[in-house]
Amino acid sequence: MTATLPPETTAQTGWTAVCRYTDLQPERGVAALVGDQQIAVFRLFDGSLHAVGHRDPVSGAHVIARGLVGTRGDAPTVASPMYKQVFDLRTGVCLDAPDDSAVRLPVHPVRLRDGWVEIGSGG
């Protein structure tokens, strides 16, 4: 659990490095603390990165990163570990209630740079 932090955060660009790409196990999320925001970060089987809000809008608990990752049709998904709602990792939309804007995860920009996973803050 050491040396996961980059030497500095690059706040002026709006990007925060949270971990090395190789720290992420495919299809198992992690939570990251960016400022006072809790963010769930996923590396998928195809190698792509996704970042959504860590707070489960249904239970109010911060648990989304601990959900099971999978697919529904073409959509990469995470299922909340609390009451099992399934969210599209690309859009944050809850696939079980696509029209309910209250049950939706915020999506955060995420990128890979020099082996580091960076979350875009603010946008």
* Interaction pattern, residues 65-84, with another protein; x per rule: CB under 8 A: -xxxxxxxx--xx-x-xx-x
Q: H/E/C letters for each residue in 50-75? A: EEEECECCCCCCECHHHCEEEEECCE
82 or 97, CB closer to another protein? 82
Q: How many residues bind another protein (CB under 8 A)?
A: 41
Give, in degrees to the nearest 5, the angle at Cα 97 between 93 and 98.
45
The interface region with another protein, picked from 41-49, 96-104, 105-113 by CB under 8 A, is 41-49
Binding residues among 97-116 for another protein as defined by CB under 8 A: none
Return the SS3 of 90.
coil
**What residues pair up with 42 in beta bridges, in sequence order?**
50
Give, in degrees to the nearest 5, the angle at Cα 35 between 93 and 90.
20
86: nearest Cα among 98, 78, 74 = 78
Least CB distance to another protein at residue 108 (A): 14
11 binds another protein (CB under 8 A): no
Least CB distance to another protein at residue 34 (A): 8
Give contact residues for another protein (rule: CB under 8 A).
1, 4-5, 18-19, 23, 25-28, 30-34, 36, 38, 41, 44-45, 55, 59-63, 66-73, 76-77, 79, 81-82, 84, 86
